[in-house]
Amino acid sequence: MDSTEMRPGSFRVRAAQPVDIPELMRLKRLLAQGEDSLHAVRANAADWLRDGFGPGAGFSAFVAETGHAGAIVGMVTCSKRSVTGWGGPVVFLQDLFVEPDHRKRGIARALAARVAAYARDLGSPIVELTVRADNPAQDFYQREGFYHLPHCLTYVLAGSALAALADRDTEDLALAG
């Protein structure tokens, strides 16, 4: 068996490529469906290509593929963001999903490890994530070393509240790009 072959039942994690976009989108929809948030998924293939693989890519993606036919069965997406006061980027883990039939095989752990290695290589002091209060994956995250910051809460501004607050700004913004 050469180095590109895998044993049956095994998997490998690799950087996603543009050709993987349909599978990334499929897994993202499965993740959103499980969270009852499919209505919030708006990105199309062109968005994924531009935002994940273009010259100004805003996120990175990694996939887990199985040994048989290289089927993609898991994914993780993450992005870098700047936080004032830190001496480098912070990596934000956005999506981590493994198809139900392939869980309990170490795939999620391998995907999370890839994000940790990515963060380390970037000089990021932390990997951050936001998880729903009802997400059973919290136990997994804690086993992997993530910990809850009880003094932090997540707030979002969206919809009509976002529009109303934006309308209070009277300055014209000169957005670059």
DSSP 102-156: G-SSSHHHHHHHHHHHHHHHHT-S-EEE---TT-TTHHHHHHTT----TT-----
| Cα distance between residue 37 and residue 40, in whole Å | 6
CA proximity to 109, closest of 79, 140, 134: 140
- Structure confidence at residue 3 (pLDDT): 38
Interatomic CA distance for residues 21 and 26, integer angstroms: 8
Residue 176: what pLDDT?
53
Domains annotated for the chain, with CATH where assigned, are: 11-149 (3.40.630.30)
Cα–Cα distance for residue pair 104/100, rounded to 1 Å? 9
* The two structure tokens encoding residue 53: 């693989």
pLDDT at 154: 86
The pLDDT, as a whole number, for residue 4 is 44
pLDDT in the model for residue 1:
37
DSSP annotation of 9: T
Low pLDDT (below 50) residues in the chain: 1-5, 8
pLDDT of residue 174: 62
pLDDT the model gives residue 144: 95
pLDDT in tens, 57-66: 999 999 999 9
- Helix, strand or coil, per DSSP, at residue 74: strand
Residue-wise pLDDT tens digits, 5-17 = 455 468 999 999 9
Quote the CA–CA distance of 98 and 45 in Å, as a whole number. Answer: 20
- pTM, two decimals, is 0.86
Inter-helix orientation angle 45-53/21-34, to 10°: 110
Predicted local distance difference test score (pLDDT) of residue 175: 61
